[in-house]
Amino acid sequence: MEKNKLDSISRMTEEMRAVVEFEAAQSRKWAKDGFLDPFDRQAYLESRRYWNQGGPEMSEEVDETMGGPHGEIPFRLYYPGGTVGKAENHCIVYIHGGGFVVGSVDTHDGIMRRLADETGAVVAGLDYRLAPEYKFPVQIAECEALADYIRQNGAKYRVDPNRISLAGDSAGAYLSLASVLHMRDTRGDRAYVRSLLLFYGAYGLGDSMSKRLYGGAWDGLTMDALNEYNKAYANPEDEDNSYRNLFCSDLTYGIPPTYILACGLDPLLDDSRLLYEILREHGTAVKLKVFEGTIHAFLHFGRMLPQTAEAFRNCAEFYKKHG
């Protein structure tokens, strides 16, 4: 165990501890020689099957592909019940997490259905290319490409081209913000992106109090693990690029209303707090909600964790004002 960590287990809610114990038991199924490889994509997919069962039913789900800057990009559209018969719906482009190295629309299916159900928006989930086979900034280009494609084909997908938001969890939260910053800087316009919904992201802090205090076997986010994800995603010469370390970017203007969700026992907590303070100081409409007693990635665990439903409701309340 890393030195000087707080006792996160004792600080978890009762329900969160139950999830952690369940996950620890389940992970033995996917471990190889007693080791669960965080880069094992099939194991990650299998580990999410249980959590994706149940939840809201969509009126329609559509798997599509589009031509992107690095080849074909698969994506999936989720239409909640309220979108039936409407020609122009609000849309949320959703970017999944997974440390850049694992994850897909299948692993995050439950999250996207719950987000669509609570917000009433069409959710378009992106299957971007993963690291280390594809490195920064490939993923940012693909996120931006899907947002543009949905806008350009709004009539086909029953989406209002001027009512598109970006959302994501963990690595996907970073990619959402990075994409908006790149749009702003290279085009001078990101007006059609109405809001950002950022769930427990890593935005650029190499070290922080929360990274020193939290993270362990229960969330796979030790300092060593975080460093391995970063190495997989970006080359050393890119670490201070303003689209890799977003705190090297100018965050003082041109950012849409932003909802920031954070977990009280997450090593990435301080990334969210710092982002909130910068945006608030410079006049961006921003809300930070910290769910105490929860760990990173808790949005997956809706089958056992009541805080997950509360989180989606809280996010949807912000989105309905700004999305």
Q: Over the stretch 187-216, which tens digit does the pLDDT of each residue have?
A: 877 778 999 999 999 999 999 999 999 999
H helices within the chain, ranges in order? Answer: 8-11, 14-27, 41-52, 109-119, 138-152, 154-157, 171-187, 209-213, 223-233, 269-281, 306-322
What's the whole-number mean pLDDT along residues 224-247? 96
Q: Which of 90, 96, 182, 296 is catalytic?
A: 296
Strands 159-169 and 258-263: unpaired
DSSP, residue by residue, 250-293: --SSS---EEEEEETT-TTHHHHHHHHHHHHHTT--EEEEEETT
Cα angle 174, 231, 142 (rounded to 5 degrees) comes to 45
For the question of residue 296 being annotated catalytic, the response is yes
pLDDT band at 18, cuts 50/70/90? very high
- Please answer whether residues 171 and 202 qualify as being in contact, where contact means their C-beta atoms are separated by less than 8 angstroms: yes
Instruction: Report pLDDT digits (tens) over 57-108.
Output: 999 999 999 999 999 999 999 999 988 889 999 999 999 999 999 999 999 9
CA distances from 279 to 175, 212, 251, 274 (A): 17, 24, 7, 9
pLDDT band at 38, cuts 50/70/90? confident
Secondary structure letter of residue 57 according to DSSP:
P
Q: Which of 109, 127, 169, 266 is catalytic?
A: 266
**pLDDT score of 33:** 65
For the question of residue 266 being annotated catalytic, the response is yes
HEC profile of 25-40: HHHCCCCECCECCCCC
Q: Which of 8, 47, 104, 170 is catalytic?
A: 170
Identify the CA nearest to 299 among candidates 129, 97, 102: 97
Least confident of 3-7, 119-123, 307-311: 3-7
Instruction: Report pLDDT digits (tens) over 285-315.
Output: 999 999 999 999 999 999 999 999 999 999 9
CA atoms of 321 and 323, how far apart (whole Å): 6
What's the whole-number mean pLDDT along residues 217-246? 95
Instruction: Report pLDDT digits (tens) over 140-167.
Output: 999 999 999 999 999 999 999 999 999 9
The pair phi, psi for residue 221, each rounded to 5°, is -115, 55
Q: What percent of the chain has pLDDT over 90?
A: 91
